A and B are shown apart, each in its own frame.
Chain A
């Protein structure tokens, strides 16, 4: 009886399995095929698109700058998230309000948030110039700085919440006990708070890298055409050069970089979730 009920339950998974084969596996296989397509239209398999990518100084610079942006954004997010998570877990004042401010913007369209950020940074530059603090606008927009600021805005909630989830698992009494036993505030931070946050930081860093490697809109809108990352190259291969084989090969490179990170995260049970934009 129990067995047959389990069989019936398994059958309920058939529609989604069929769906994923048709619309997830098939597109992925198509990308793999397309990446191996020779440039001339005679059949066969060619590594030409990969060779073109890895032998192009421009493409390699884009790969490198994607990685550097991921690294800089991760580092800045860790610096912001550690005090944020620690203060949020130790001081309950305004906790709900602060969590609202962190989570609610994630439900607002990314184009809208970037537009708001552009207007905010423009107003900030204008204000600083009017106060004679700077002679000309700071390069906050349409530059690497703009892209990094944009990614921080979008990825902070993920890093902050994974870090907060880690440190919130430490009972408040542990901190009190350490202080009662004579540990200095710095010792409490270094020996208890920081180690507790490490799994969250690790998970958050993986989300940050996959986020930077998965977003077209942030570098495109805030980089002003000057900042290119792998997703920008992929989209340009579709919209400008119409070289789908090149775009496909770059997608495979992208997955080859992100999949191991996600696999590692799932093995370690780190709290991760890919960004939805």
Chain B
């Protein structure tokens, strides 16, 4: 009973967002006084929201690809390298999580705008989010690689499969769910990121969370509620999908570090 109340309390803010977004009146109120979808077309028709949404998706995709490109070989190294090297790698790969994102973002800001005179925006945001994305991806990928049964690869080799065939028919199918899970998780991490984007956005490139944060500083209206409802749907869908393809389980508990 207590736990059901807790569960309801945790879901309540999301339910309220949805309630506010379907309210037909041009002010925020909960419970809603009616039902209307007009604010959804307003939100998606708003050029700054739409631009930010597209930018956030673009950044998320680039961060996901960059993270996988770095994390996949790193995970293999973590498992296959000499034990001493492997211990060093494990500590190094987890180290980004020990540095507050705010400090990383500030460092990138000073580095790019003061030292390199390069300006901020898309590139440093991607670079910074990838730093934090890598340990998340490595936890999922290395976790899956550890629990994959090595005798399956061995059996394939014994039965005469070459390196390529072992990879194509055994290793890749075994790891595919973890790769999908890691991609999904890193994408959502990037898409939702606030701390790194906050310091590194430039007037032309404002990610969606920062856009909504700045919007809410001035006014809370059903348009931003409708955009929020879209994000609730994306978040819950990502969670359900992530639970399906697996991989998320390697993140919690931390026993696989």
Please list the residues of chain A having a beta carbon within 8 angstroms of any beta carbon in chain B.
Answer: 5-6, 9-13, 15-17, 19-20, 23-24, 26-31, 34, 80, 83-84, 87-88, 91, 94, 97-98, 101-120, 122-123, 153, 156-157, 160-161, 165, 210, 213-217, 221, 231, 234-235, 238, 244, 247-248, 251-252, 254-255, 258-259, 262-263, 266, 271-274, 276-277
With contacts A107-B235, A116-B17, A119-B220 taken as known, whether A24 is within 8 angstroms of B100 at the C-beta atoms is no
CB-based nearest A residue for B228: A112
A220 (CB) vs chain B CBs: closest residue: B213
Contact of B127 with A by CB under 8 A: yes
8 further contact pairs, Cβ within 8 A, besides A9-B79, A17-B92:
A19-B131, A28-B103, A105-B11, A109-B208, A165-B253, A213-B100, A214-B100, A254-B100
Cβ-defined contact, A115 with B228, below 8 A:
yes
Q: How far is the CA of A105 from the CA of B239 in the complex (A)?
A: 9
Q: Is the CB of A102 within 8 A of B2?
A: no
> Which residues of chain B have C-beta atoms less than 8 A from A248's C-beta?
106, 110
- A to B contact number (C-beta, < 8 Å): 277
Closest to B31 in A: A123
Assembled-state Cα–Cα distance A117/B220 (Å): 12
- Contact assessment for A115 and B10 in the assembled complex, using a CB-CB cutoff below 8 Å: no
Q: How many residues of B are counted as interface, with CB atoms below 8 angstroms from the partner's CB atoms?
A: 92
Contact indicator B13/A153 (Cβ below 8 Å)? yes
B107 near A276 with CB under 8 A, answer no
Residues from chain B with Cβ under 8 Å of A15 in the complex: 69-70, 73-74
B14 in complex: contacting residue of A80, A87, A116, A258, CB < 8 Å: A116
Q: Do the beta carbons of B73 and A13 come within 8 Å of each other?
A: yes
Do B106 and A23 touch across chains, with their CB atoms under 8 A apart?
no
A23 contacts B102, CB within 8 Å? no
Interface membership of B209, Cβ < 8 A: yes
Contact A271 B95 (CB under 8 A): no
B159 at the interface (CB under 8 A from A): no
Measured between beta carbons, the chain A residues less than 8 angstroms from B85 are 6, 10, 13
**Of B16, B130, B131, which contacts A116 at CB under 8 A?**
B16
B77 and A9 contacting across the interface, CB-CB below 8 Å: yes
User: In the bound complex, do residue A111 and residue B98 qualify as a contact, i.e. CB atoms below 8 Å apart?
Assistant: no
Which residues, 165 to 224 on B, are CB-close (under 8 Å) to A? Answer: 188-189, 191-195, 198-199, 208-209, 212-213, 216, 220, 224
Whether A30 lies near B76 (C-beta < 8 A) is: no
Question: Which B residue's beta carbon lies closest to that of A3?
Answer: B82
Whole-angstrom CA separation of A91 from B12 in the bound complex:
23
Contacts of A84 in B (CB 8 A): 2-3, 6
Is A273 a contact of B254 with CB atoms below 8 Å? yes
Q: How far is the CB of B63 from chain A (nearest CB, A)?
A: 12
Q: Assess the A115–B224 pair: CB atoms within 8 A.
A: yes
How many whole Å from B40's CB to the nearest CB in chain A? Answer: 15
**Shortest Cβ distance from residue B226 to the other chain A in the assembled complex, whole angstroms:** 11
Residues of B within 8 A of A11 (CB): 77
User: Are the C-beta atoms of B224 and A102 separated by less than 8 Å?
Assistant: no
